[in-house]
Chain A
Amino acid sequence: MNIIDHLFKKGKNKLSIYFTAGYPKLNSTKKIIQILQQSKVNLIEIGLPYSDPMADGLIIQKSNKKALKNGMNPDQLFSQLQLIQNEIQVPLILMGYYNQFLKFGEESFLNCCKKSGISGLIFPDLPLEIYKEKYQKLFEKYELYFICLVTSQTPDNRILLLSNISKGFLYVVSSISTTGQNKDFETDPLIFLNRINNLNLSIPTLVGFGIANKNSFNLACQYANGGIIGSAFIQSLDENDLEGSIHRFIASILY
Chain B
Amino acid sequence: MNSYLDDKNGFYGDFGGTFIPEILWINFKELKDSYESIILDPSFNKKFESLLNNYVGRPTPLFYCNELSKKYKTNIYLKREDLNHTGSHKINNTIGQALFAKQLGKKKIIAETGAGQHGIATATVCSLLSLECIIFMGETDILRQAINVSKMKMLGAKIIPATTGNKTLKDAINEALRYWINHPECYYLIGSVVGPHPYPKIVAYFQSIISKEIKKQLQEKKGITQPNYIITCIGGGSNSIGAFYHFLENASVKLIAVESAGLGIYTNKTAATTIQGSKGVIHGSLTFVMQDKYGQIIDPYSISAGMDYPGIGPMHANLFHTQRVKFFNVTDNDVLQAAYEISQIEGIIPALESAHALAILPKISFKKEDIVVINLSGRGDKDLKNYIRHLNQFLK
As a 0/1 sequence over residues 251 to 282 of chain B, the CB contacts with chain A under 8 angstroms (1 = contact) are: 00000000000000000000000000011111
Residues of A within 8 A of B22 (CB): 124, 148-151, 154, 162, 173
Tell me which of A73, A102, A176 contacts B184 (CB under 8 A): A176
Q: Does A111 contact B (CB under 8 A)?
A: no
Q: Does A42 contact B (CB under 8 A)?
A: no
Q: Does B394 contact A (CB under 8 A)?
A: no
Q: Are B182 and A176 in contact (CB under 8 A)?
A: yes
As a 0/1 sequence over residues 141 to 174 of chain A, the CB contacts with chain B under 8 angstroms (1 = contact) are: 0000000111101100010001000000000010
Cα distance, A47 to B284, chains bound together (Å): 19
**Given A52-B174, A98-B281, A103 contacting B182 (CB threshold 8 A):** no
Tell me which of B25, B177, B178, B291 contacts A103 (CB under 8 A): B291
Chain A nearest CB, measured from B227 CB (Å): 38
**Given A61-B164, A149-B21, A153-B26, A177 contacting B280 (CB threshold 8 A):** no
Tell me which of B279, B280, B296 contacts A68 (CB under 8 A): B296
Cα distance, A177 to B280, chains bound together (Å): 25
Q: Does A199 contact B (CB under 8 A)?
A: no
Give residues 9-36 of B contacting A (CB, 8 Å).
Answer: 9, 17-23, 25-26
Chain B nearest CB, measured from A83 CB (Å): 20
Q: What residue in chain B is nearest A149 (Cβ atoms)?
A: B22
Chain A nearest CB, measured from B59 CB (Å): 39
Q: Are A178 and B178 in contact (CB under 8 A)?
A: yes
Chain B at the A interface: SS class = mixed
**Given A52-B174, A52-B297, A99-B291, A153 contacting B280 (CB threshold 8 A):** no
Q: Are B295 and A99 in contact (CB under 8 A)?
A: yes
Q: Are A52 and B9 in contact (CB under 8 A)?
A: no
Residues of B within 8 A of A101 (CB): 295
Residues of A within 8 A of B170 (CB): 52
Cα distance, A125 to B278, chains bound together (Å): 19
**Given A61-B164, A154-B26, A173-B22, A50 contacting B184 (CB threshold 8 A):** no
Q: Does B181 contact A (CB under 8 A)?
A: yes
Q: Are B19 and A100 in contact (CB under 8 A)?
A: no
Q: Does A203 contact B (CB under 8 A)?
A: no
Q: Does A191 contact B (CB under 8 A)?
A: no
Chain A nearest CB, measured from B82 CB (Å): 32
Cα distance, A61 to B184, chains bound together (Å): 21
As a 0/1 sequence over residues 171 to 193 of chain B, the CB contacts with chain A under 8 angstroms (1 = contact) are: 00010011001101000000000
Residues of A within 8 A of B174 (CB): 52, 54
Cα distance, A52 to B248, chains bound together (Å): 33
Cα distance, A102 to B295, chains bound together (Å): 8
Q: Does A74 contact B (CB under 8 A)?
A: yes
Tell me which of B17, B280, B291, B296 contacts A127 (CB under 8 A): B17
Q: What residue in chain A is nearest B184 (Cβ atoms)?
A: A176
Number of residues from A at the complex interface, CB < 8 A: 39
Chain B nearest CB, measured from A162 CB (Å): 8
Tell me which of B278, B284, B295 contacts A100 (CB under 8 A): B295
Cα distance, A173 to B278, chains bound together (Å): 33
Cα distance, A237 to B264, chains bound together (Å): 43
Cα distance, A54 to B279, chains bound together (Å): 19
Give residues 84-132 of A contacting B (CB, 8 Å).
Answer: 97-104, 124-127, 129-130
Residues of A within 8 A of B289 (CB): 99
Residues of B within 8 A of A75 (CB): 294
Residues of A within 8 A of B177 (CB): 54
Q: Are A73 and B294 in contact (CB under 8 A)?
A: yes
Q: Are A129 and B293 in contact (CB under 8 A)?
A: no
Q: Does B105 contact A (CB under 8 A)?
A: no
Indicate the member of A52, A124, A154 with the most B CB atoms within 10 Å. A52
Cα distance, A75 to B295, chains bound together (Å): 13
Q: Are A176 and B23 in contact (CB under 8 A)?
A: yes
Cα distance, A154 to B164, chains bound together (Å): 29
Chain B nearest CB, measured from A66 CB (Å): 12
Chain B nearest CB, measured from A157 CB (Å): 12
Q: Are B182 and A181 in contact (CB under 8 A)?
A: yes
* 6 shortest interchain CB distances as A-B pairs: A103-B295, A153-B26, A124-B21, A55-B21, A99-B295, A51-B296
CB<8 Å pairs between A and B, sample of 13: A50-B295, A51-B165, A103-B293, A125-B19, A125-B281, A127-B20, A149-B21, A151-B26, A153-B25, A162-B22, A176-B181, A176-B184, A178-B23
Contacts A104-B294, A125-B20 known; 7 new A-B pairs at CB < 8 A: A99-B280, A99-B281, A103-B280, A127-B17, A153-B23, A176-B182, A178-B23
